[in-house]
Homo-oligomer: A and B are copies of this chain.
Amino acid sequence: MPVNLKPIDNAQLAPIAGIDLAYAEAGIKKPGRKDVLVIRIDKGNTVAGVFTQNRFCAAPVQICKQNLDAGVQIRALVVNTGNANAGTGESGRQHAREVCAALAKELDCLPEQILPFSTGVILEPLPVDKIITALPTRQPATWADAAEAIMTTDVAPKATSRTIQIDGQAVNITGIAKGAGMIHPNMATMLGFIATDAPITRPVLTQLVKEVADLSFNSITIDGDTSTNDSFMLISTGQSAAPRIDSVNHPAYEQLKAALLEVSIELAQAIVRDGEGATKFITVQVEGGRTVAECKAVGYAIGRSPLVKTAFFASDPNLGRLLAAIGYAGIHDLDVDRLEMYLDDVLVAKDGGRNPLYKEEDGQRVMKQDEITVRVVLNRGLSNATVWTCDFSYDYVKINADYRS
């Protein structure tokens, strides 16, 4: 079960003026399941996104990038689960275009004004007819429905909202996301959609989506696998009365970014809390590095090590495995005699070895918790980074050995 993941409550999710949601049950993988989501956006919006770095990026990712680059007004996003439309070559791109065309016809716009997204099994042809047949049958949806409609192996839907005031005007932000395996930096089998009614110009939105992704969705790992389909989209409908944010120097930029970060970090952490088979939520804080990149490298070495993750699963303070992971993180001139490692408030390692005052029972106490912070102080610079991850359990193997059956 997810680790301390609050159930979502639709009453807590702010509607975003200028967006209609609808879902359909296309029976892509099995019948009677919300597996298609349409996010329709009024004219006057701006949309920006970041996508997987995987060279086998899925057909819908390729089409999304093309359509965003075309500079046309986006009118809708269409998401299907149950099939990733990845590793499907030219016919996959054709299928994605057909889905866009079908929705475009109905919305009386160009296919290029639709952004397609897919998540699910790789290397199988998209059942495009099922999706096109189901599109006209779609039902109005709440944000809670939308969060449910994009789930694959997720145990629970993920959604959250914030409302802030900019110049005395309410600005709403609501986001949804899905995980739950193949999660690693530079995106994952993860989809994230955050919409706000704040008016934001496209260049500012493009900058915001990168900055926000780096500190949230690009700071989590479940299993080190970077997926073919990861996409994180920011949508601005512009229908709030707040002033338009047209520059990163705008007085409200930092305030808006902070609120977007709260939403995206909560969603990214929710993905980890619902990581496949997760029983613990681990925060890895790396401090005092020369660069953010080297701090992240240490965070990820710890966060993706199967040996570290199985030790967390067992509540076993087998902390040498953490040191080993730090040692192979790729900092070639790391002086291990200078670093400190803490488990919550317990100083475990210093001077290149175990803290003489460290007691096994202190480590044991922290390891038994279901939320644990590993803090590594490199003592060689002023940069920091935080990575979130989960443990590695029997259920991870079970879920991934059974996924297609």
A residues neighboring B (CB under 8 Å): 53-57, 84, 86-92, 121-125, 181-182, 184, 223-228, 304-307, 310-311, 313-314, 316, 318-321, 323-328, 331-332, 334, 336-337, 349, 351-354, 392-394, 396-398, 400-405
Contact A318 B87 (CB under 8 A): no
Contact B320 A121 (CB under 8 A): yes
Contact B316 A405 (CB under 8 A): yes
CA–CA, A349 to B336, complex, Å? 45
Q: Lowest 3 A-B CB distances belong to which pairs?
A: A122-B320, A89-B353, A56-B327
CA–CA, A320 to B54, complex, Å? 13
CA–CA, A204 to B294, complex, Å? 37
Contact A334 B55 (CB under 8 A): yes
A225-B306 in contact given A55-B328, A328-B54 (Cβ < 8 Å): yes
- Identify which of B53, B89, B319 contacts A351 (C-beta below 8 A): B89
Query: What are 29 A-B residue pairs whose CB atoms fall within 8 Å in the complex?
Result: A54-B324, A55-B328, A55-B334, A56-B323, A56-B324, A87-B354, A88-B353, A88-B354, A89-B337, A89-B351, A90-B351, A90-B352, A91-B353, A122-B319, A122-B320, A122-B321, A124-B320, A182-B321, A223-B306, A224-B224, A224-B304, A225-B306, A225-B307, A225-B321, A226-B324, A306-B392, A307-B400, A310-B396, A314-B405
Residues of B within 8 Å of A90, CB to CB, are 351-353
CA–CA, A305 to B225, complex, Å? 6
A87-B349 in contact given A397-B393, A400-B307 (Cβ < 8 Å): yes
Residues of B within 8 Å of A319, CB to CB, are 122-123
CA–CA, A349 to B228, complex, Å? 15
Contact A404 B324 (CB under 8 A): no
Residues of B within 8 Å of A181, CB to CB, are 307
Residues of B within 8 Å of A56, CB to CB, are 323-324, 326-327, 336, 352
Instruction: Specify the main secondary structure of chain A where it touches its partner.
Output: loop
Contact A349 B316 (CB under 8 A): no
- Identify which of B87, B228, B318 contacts A403 (C-beta below 8 A): B318
- Identify which of B326, B394, B396, B402 contacts A306 (C-beta below 8 A): B396
Contact A122 B323 (CB under 8 A): yes
A54-B327 in contact given A123-B319, A181-B307, A354-B88 (Cβ < 8 Å): yes
Contact B55 A326 (CB under 8 A): yes
- How many Å from the CB of A388 to the closest CB on chain B? 17
Residues of B within 8 Å of A313, CB to CB, are 397, 401
- How many Å from the CB of A315 to the closest CB on chain B? 9
Max chain B Cβ within 10 angstroms of own Cβ: one of A314, A318, A324, A398: A324
**Extra A-B contacts (15), CB below 8 Å, given A54-B327, A56-B352, A226-B328:** A55-B327, A55-B334, A56-B323, A89-B354, A123-B320, A124-B354, A184-B328, A224-B304, A225-B305, A225-B306, A225-B328, A310-B400, A316-B401, A318-B404, A393-B397
